[in-house]
Amino acid sequence: MMLYTSVPLEVVLNGLNEQPGPFVDIAIGGIRMQVEPLSPGIGRIVRLLECPLDAYLHPGYTPGTVIAYGAQDS
């Protein structure tokens, strides 16, 4: 793959060798999603795993959105 950019190589490859995670799979309102925990009960949505197609259009389920979840949602 060729990448033509004016951005320095160090910036483009920054974080390439870092492992993402840990992630938690939770279900809220029938939507199963992968969340990156930020603090107890609060996390950032990484991606939707199982949901109806119209859930992808809901702004509250956008990847990067910070949500509150509890232990009973898992």
pLDDT digits (tens, 9 = 90+) for 2-59: 878 899 988 888 878 877 778 999 999 899 999 999 999 999 999 999 999 999 999 9
Reported as a pLDDT band with limits 50, 70 and 90, residue 73 is: very low
* pLDDT value for 12: 86
Rounded Cα–Cα distance for residues 26 and 48 (Å): 10
What sign does the dihedral 17-10-46-38 (CA atoms) show?
A: positive
Confidence (pLDDT) at 74: 45
User: pTM to 2 decimals?
Assistant: 0.69
| Of 11, 38, 14, residue with least CA distance to 24 | 38
> Alpha helix locations (H) across the chain?
9-12
Better-scored residue on pLDDT, 17 or 67 = 67
Q: Residue 49: left (phi > 0), alpha (psi -120 to 50), or beta?
A: alpha
